[in-house]
Amino acid sequence: MWKESPAPAVFVPAPAEPSSAPVLVVPAAKGAAVTEAQPADEPNTTTAAAPGRVRALPTAGPLAGKVAIVTGSESGIGRETARALGAAGAAVVLNGLRPERLEATRRQLEAAGATVAICRADITDYAACEALVATAVQEFGRLDILVANASISQRAYFLDMAPEVFRRVLDSNVYGAVFPLKAALPHLLESHGSITFISSISALNGMPSGSAYCAGKAALTNLAHTLRLELDGTGVHFGVVHIGFTENDDDKRVLDADGQPVPIAYRKPRWQKTQAEVAAIIVRHIRRRRQRTVISALGWLIAIVHTNFPRLGDWVVLTSMRRLRKFYE
């Protein structure tokens, strides 16, 4: 049975458009880290089904009858992962912080035939994560898949970073995965479900100008391993996907040393996979219930060199810092 949040949710009437469903208002934690800039005067909101009414699940596709939450799915890789899960037959709960983006993504996916709900929630606020999970259960009656995708990245050297900025990035990557999982785990135990943490190839060897981001992503690997041991025999799948260089939305931003949003560092297009390609790999990882997936040949090269030839790996990174400074700065 669902456990109520210490900060109770309050139902208020939703506008007639675009949905006649009620809206769940969830208090946001003061000073909580977010994946996108969040207006201070706007509460987290969730569109939810009417009490006692559960929506029908898709009946076609390899994931038919399954329900998934993808955090940070209003844009980018999260959006495309939600799209791929929907195409595979799963009902999907979209999550993000920008209502207009969430609504636009919902319309895109529904136009493509997906079954979706939306929940505006800060994933570093545990009460909001409880409401996110509650949305899945209220809308669709169950939860089978959690993709912990949302996080903040950075473009700043550790020496220059304000401590509060380091903490904001680290919190988004660690608690932004832990809190949704903690809220979802009772339902995933019941359904023998799947949790996939979205990590990075930078967690395999570290990356200059990415200290907090790398530390947070590396933590997810050990978290998954520990939970796999603790919950052995429960039927729950814990996996990690290490994403490599991927094309980004034009408005993608990361934090500089002072916490200001700045464009992501330059990456040559030929090094990048499309968001759709990455999403397809994530869904295949979930369907096969793999423990680890490293995306791209570069990712595997980093993993092999870091494990077997760590000094060579460091030499390559240090050389690239001298010759390709804009890659990091």
Domain definitions of the chain by residue range: 10-327
Task: Give the whole-angstrom CA distance, residue 67 versus residue 91.
Answer: 5
Q: pLDDT at position 263, please?
A: 79
Q: Is residue 39's pLDDT more than 50?
A: no
With a pLDDT cut of 90, the percent of the chain lying above it is 58
Cα separation values, 111 from 135, 136, 254, Å: 21, 20, 31
Confidence class for position 66, pLDDT limits 50, 70, 90: very high
Average pLDDT, the chain: 83
Confidence class for position 178, pLDDT limits 50, 70, 90: very high
Structure tokens belonging to residue 52: 């006692």
Task: Give the whole-angstrom CA distance, residue 284 versus residue 89.
Answer: 13
Confidence class for position 329, pLDDT limits 50, 70, 90: low
Tell me: the pLDDT tens digits for 270-299?
777 899 999 999 999 999 999 999 997 777
Confidence class for position 45, pLDDT limits 50, 70, 90: low
**Phi/psi at 60 (nearest 5 deg)?**
-120, 145
Q: pLDDT at position 44, please?
A: 46
Task: Give the whole-angstrom CA distance, residue 145 versus residue 192.
Answer: 9
Residue type, position 13, single letter: P
Fold classified for 10-327: Rossmann fold (3.40.50)
Q: pLDDT at position 51, please?
A: 59
What is the chain's length? 329
User: Nearest Cα to 121, choosing from 95, 87, 144?
Assistant: 95
* Orientation angle between helical segments 310-323 and 297-308, nearest 10 degrees: 130
Stretch 298-326: mean pLDDT: 74
Tell me: the pLDDT tens digits for 240-267?
999 987 777 677 788 888 888 787 766 6
Coil, strand, or helix at residue 311? helix
Which residues are the active-site residues? 213
Highest mean pLDDT among 71-85, 206-220, 262-276: 71-85
Q: Which residues of 98-126 are buried (b: 16+ CB within 10 A; e: fewer)?
A: beebbbebbeebeeeebbbbbbbbbbbbb
pTM strictly above 0.85? no
Highest mean pLDDT among 195-209, 249-263, 303-317: 195-209
Q: pLDDT at position 302, please?
A: 77
Note whether 87 and 112 are within 8 A (CB). yes
Range in 133-147, 181-195, 305-319 with the lowest mean pLDDT = 305-319
How deeply is 276 buried, as exposed, middle or buried, from its count of CB atoms within 10 A (0-12, 13-18, 19+)?
A: middle
For every residue of 158-214, DSSP letters joined together read GGG--HHHHHHHHHHHHHHHHHHHHHHHHHHHHHT-EEEEEEETHHHH--TT-HHHH
Confidence class for position 40, pLDDT limits 50, 70, 90: very low
Tell me: the pLDDT tens digits for 112-134?
999 999 999 999 999 999 999 99
Q: pLDDT at position 50, please?
A: 55
Note whether 305 and 316 are within 8 A (CB). yes
CA angle (305, 307, 308) in 5-degree steps: 65
Stretch 138-154: mean pLDDT: 95
Structure tokens belonging to residue 189: 């135990």
Stretch 313-329: mean pLDDT: 67
